[in-house]
A = this chain, B = another copy of it.
Amino acid sequence: MPLSKLNKIEIIQGDCLEELINIPTNSIDLIFTSPPYADRRKNTYGGISPVKYVKWFMPIAKELKRVLKPEGTFILNIKEKAENGERNTYVLELILEMKKMGWLWTEEFIWVKKNCYPGKWPNRFRDAWERIIQFNKNEKFAMYQEEVMVPVGDWAKTRLKNLSPTDKIRDNSKVGSGFGKNISNWINREMVYPTNVIQLATECSNKNHSAAFPKALPEWFIRLFTKEGDVVLDPFVGSGTTLFAAYELRRNSIGIEIVPEYCEIIKNKIEKHNDRVL
C-alpha cells in the first residue's frame, strides 16, 4: 500500500446494534472495544444493570461475530465493578455465554494500570488492572508477534556473553541442523516477545471521555493482530482513541458511537489535522 494514500476513518452515529447490521459480513480484521461497564457512565450511556448486562451484550456479540473475518480477532476491554463488598460476576457469565455462541476464548490479557484511580476503602485496595479478553472465530487467526517485541531484560547483558552448556544441549536436542541457528538466535538478541501482562507507562490524557484508555492500548493490539490497510472496528468508540491509533498505524477504521457530541469531537479532531498524527 502506498504511503501517500491516507486510510479511511468512518464514524457512525447511532445505536451500536442497529448500525452493526449495515456492516458487511466477514469484513473486519480486528474489533477492539471497551463497552460501557455495567452501572458505569450513567450520565452518558444510561447504564446497564449487571443482571441485564449479558442479555444486553449478546445480540451485539452475534453481530460482531458476523462482521469479523474468519481469521480476525475480537478484543474486549472490560472490568467488573465491586458492589456491596463483592465483585459482580457478569464478566464471567459473559465469557461463558460467548463460548456458547461459538466464540473461542483464546486468552485473557491483563492491563496493569500504573496510575489507577485513587481512593481508599476499608475492605479493598485500589483496582489497578482490567481484563483484556481475546475472542476468535477460529483456532487459526492472524497474529504478527514480531510487531510488539520488547527490549530484553538486563539479565541478558551478562547471560549472553557465554551460553551455558545446558542451553546448548537443550537447543541442540533437535538432532543435527539446529545447533548453529539457535546460537545465532540468542547472540545479539535485543528484543524478546512480550507476555500476556501489558504494563503501559503512558497515562490517558483524555479527560472528556470517562472511559478513555491510553492510545498505546489499542495501538498494541492493532499492531499485534492487523497489518497495514486492514480494517479495525470499535462499536463503542467514545472519544475515538481506537480510530486515531488505527489511523496512525495506517489501518482503516470504523467507529460507532451513540452520543452525538462524541461524534462531533472526533470529526473536529480529524479535520484539524492534515498529517497522520491525531
Contact = CB atoms under 8 A, between A and B. Distances in A.
Interface of A: 82, 84-87, 89, 92-93, 95-96, 99, 104-108, 110, 112, 116, 120, 122-129, 136, 139-141, 143, 145, 193-197
Contacts of A105: 86-87, 89
A82 B122 CA distance: 36
A87 B103 CA distance: 12
Interface centre among A82, A85, A141, A193 (most CB of B within 10 A): A85
13 contacts: A82-B107, A86-B104, A86-B139, A87-B106, A92-B92, A120-B193, A123-B139, A125-B194, A125-B196, A127-B196, A128-B195, A128-B197, A129-B196
A82, A129, A143: residue with the most chain B Cβ atoms closer than 10 Å = A129
Contacts of A139: 84-86, 123
A258 B123 CA distance: 34
B143 A129 contact: no
B96 A126 contact: no
A122 B106 contact: no
How many copies altogether? 2
A89 B133 CA distance: 13
A249 to B, nearest CB: 19
Contacts of A84: 139
Contacts of A145: 122, 125
A142 to B, nearest CB: 10
A82 B197 CA distance: 16
